[in-house]
C-alpha cells in the first residue's frame, strides 16, 4: 500500500508514515529496517525527539545495503522552538545527523520561539517560575522567510507548519512566498478539529495527523489522556470490519484526506498500522465516528512548559 497525497508544490507524500517520537537508541535501527521491509516509505522525525543521529544511521545502512534508495523515502524533520532565530544552522544540524543531503519536508514544530539554547540542543528553557521562556523578538513571519530560504538553497523540497491553528495558518498564507505544504496537527476521533482540517485543505495545505490514534498508552502515561481506541463506537466498527480499533481509526484519518503517522515500537503493530489499504469505511460509518468527538487533546506540552499555549 503506497498511496500518496500530492502536495501543493507537486511533490508526493506517502499517506501512511511512521513517527519516530520516543523511539530509543539501539532499537531504532532494527525498527526502521523492519518498517522499511514492511513497506513504510515516510518517516516523521524532529530535532526535539533527540534521536536523529540514530535514525540517520538506520537510513545510511538501508541505503548501503540496497534495501531502499534515498529517493524512495520521504523524510520529515522539524525546527525546534529554541532555534527560530537560527533556521539555517538548525536545518543543517538535522541534515548532518540524519546523514541526508536534502529533506523532503521541514516543519516549524510549534508556532512559538523560545530562548535559544544552542543549535540542536532542543531545550525548553524555563524561568524561575518554571514557565517557558518565550522569545518575543522573533515573529513567525521572520521564521517562515528563513524556512523559504531553505527551499531556495535546495536543502529542503517542501516546508510546512505544525501545531498552527486557523488564525496562525491564515497569517502564514498571507505573508508566505512559498506556501506551507503541510500543517501537522494532533487530530483523531476524540479531537477531530473539523474546522481547522477543512480550512487547511480548502487552501491547499495537506493536513498530517500526528497522534492519529489518540496517543494510546504513551500519552496516557505522560499526560493522563484518554484513548479513542477503547471507545465502544470504534470497537463496534472494528468488529464489523474485522479489523483492529487502530486500523479503523487510521482508515478514518485517511478517508478524511489526512496523512497519518502512527508511532509504534512493536513489530506486529507496525504491520497492522500499515495494512489499512484493503477496506473502506462507509459514509454512514464515517458519520458515526464524527459523533465520538470529545475535543480532547492528548498531547499536552503545557505539562512540561508551565504555560498552556493552546488555552
Confidence class for position 15, pLDDT limits 50, 70, 90? very high
Q: pLDDT averaged over the chain?
A: 94
pLDDT at 263 over 90: no
Q: Which three cell numbers stand for residue 35?
A: 518498517
- Residue indicated by cell numbers 477503547: 230
Q: What is the 3-state secondary structure (H, E, C) of the chain?
A: CCCEEECCCCCEEECECEECCCCCCCHHHHHHHHHHHHCCCEEECCHHHCCHHHHHHHHHHHHHCCCCCHHHCEEEEEECHHHCCCHHHHHHHHHHHHCCCCEEEEEECCCCCECCCCCCCCCCCECCCCCECECCCCCHHHHHHHHHHHHHCCCEEEEEEECCCHHHHHHHHHHCCCCCCEEEEECECCECCHHHHHHHHHCCCEEEEECCCCCHHHHHHHHCCCCHHHCHHHHHHHHHHCCCHHHHHHHHHHHCCCEECCCCCCHHHHHHHHCCCCCCCCHHHHHHHHCCCCCCCCCCCHHHHCCCCCC
d(CA 113, CA 144): 12
- Render pLDDT for 31-67 as a digit per residue (tens, 0 to 9): 999 999 999 999 999 999 999 999 999 999 999 999 9
Contact 55, 29 (CB under 8 A): no
- Would you state the pLDDT for residue 217? 61
pLDDT at 306 over 70: yes
Confidence class for position 10, pLDDT limits 50, 70, 90? very high
d(CA 165, CA 175): 16
- Would you state the pLDDT for residue 258? 98
pLDDT at 24 over 80: no
d(CA 168, CA 57): 36
pLDDT at 225 over 80: no
Contact 78, 48 (CB under 8 A): yes
Interior/surface letters 215-226, b for 16+ CB within 10 angstroms, e for the rest = bbebbeebbebb
Rg (C-alpha) for the chain, rounded Å, is: 19
- Would you state the pLDDT for residue 211? 85
Confidence class for position 310, pLDDT limits 50, 70, 90? confident
Q: Write out the catalytic residue numbers.
A: 49
Give the mean pLDDT of 251-271.
Answer: 94
- Render pLDDT for 111-165 as a digit per residue (tens, 0 to 9): 999 999 999 899 899 999 999 999 999 999 999 999 999 999 999 999 999 999 9
d(CA 79, CA 255): 29
pTM for this prediction: 0.95
The answer to whether 109 is a known ligand-binding residue is yes
pLDDT at 223 over 90: no
| Residue of 232, 236, 216, 229 lying closest to 281 (CA atoms) | 236
Query: Of residues 206 and 267, which shows the higher confidence score?
Result: 206
Q: Which three cell numbers stand for residue 17?
A: 508514515
d(CA 38, CA 14): 14
d(CA 25, CA 22): 10
pLDDT at 298 over 90: no
- Would you state the pLDDT for residue 222? 65
- Would you state the pLDDT for residue 299? 83
CB atoms within 10 A of CB 258: 24
For 88: left if phi > 0, alpha if psi spans -120 to 50, otherwise beta; the answer is: alpha
| Residue of 194, 163, 186, 165 lying closest to 289 (CA atoms) | 194
Amino acid at each position: 500500500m503506497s498511496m500518496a497525497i500530492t502536495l501543493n508544490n507537486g511533490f508526493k507524500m506517502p499517506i501512511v508514515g511512521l513517527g519516530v517520537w520516543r523511539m530509543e537508541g539501539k532499537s531504532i535501527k532494527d525498527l526502521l529496517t523492519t518498517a522499511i521491509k514492511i513497506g513504510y516509505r515516510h518517516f516523521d522525525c524532529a530535532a526535539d525527539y533527540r534521536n536523529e543521529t540514530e535514525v540517520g544511521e538506520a537510513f545510511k545502512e538501508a541505503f548501503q545495503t540496497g534495501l531502499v534508495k534515498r529517493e524512495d523515502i520521504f523524510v520529515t524533520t522539524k525546527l525546534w522552538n529554541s532555534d527560530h532565530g537560527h533556521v539555517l544552522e538548525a536545518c543543517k544540524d538535522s541534515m548532518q545527523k540524519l546523514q541526508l543531503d536534502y529533506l523532503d519536508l521541514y516543519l516549524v514544530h510549534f508556532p512559538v520561539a523560545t530562548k535559544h539554547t544552542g543549535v540542536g540542543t532542543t531545550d525548553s528553557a524555563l524561568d524561575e517560575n518554571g514557565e517557558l521562556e518565550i522569545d518575543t523578538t522573533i515573529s513567525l513571519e521572520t521564521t517562515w522567510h528563513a524556512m523559504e530560504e531553505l527551499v531556495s538553497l535546495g536543502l529542503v523540497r517542501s516546508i510546512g507548519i505544525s501545531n498552527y491553528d486557523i488564525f496562525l495558518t491564515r497569517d502564514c498564507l498571507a505573508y508566505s512566498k512559498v506556501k506551507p505544504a503541510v500543517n501537522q496537527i494532533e487530530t483523531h476521533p476524540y479531537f477531530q478539529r473539523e474546522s481547522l482540517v477543512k480550512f487547511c485543505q480548502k487552501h491547499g495545505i495537506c493536513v498530517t495527523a500526528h497522534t492519529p490514534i489518540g496517543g494510546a498508552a504513551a500519552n496516557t502515561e505522560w499526560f493522563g489522556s484518554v484513548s479513542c481506541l477503547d471507545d465502544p463506537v470504534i470497537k463496534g466498527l472494528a468488529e464489523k470490519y474485522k479489523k483492529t480499533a487502530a486500523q479503523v481509526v487510521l482508515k478514518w484519518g485517511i478517508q478524511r484526506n489526512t496523512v497519518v503517522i502512527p508511532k509504534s515500537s512493536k513489530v506486529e503493530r507496525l504491520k497492522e498500522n500499515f495494512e489499512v489499504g484493503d477496506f473502506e469505511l462507509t459514509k454512514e460509518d464515517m458519520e458515526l465516528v464524527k459523533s465520538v468527538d470529545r475535543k480532547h487533546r492528548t498531547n499536552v506540552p503545557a505539562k512540561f512548559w508551565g504555560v498552556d499555549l493552546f488555552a
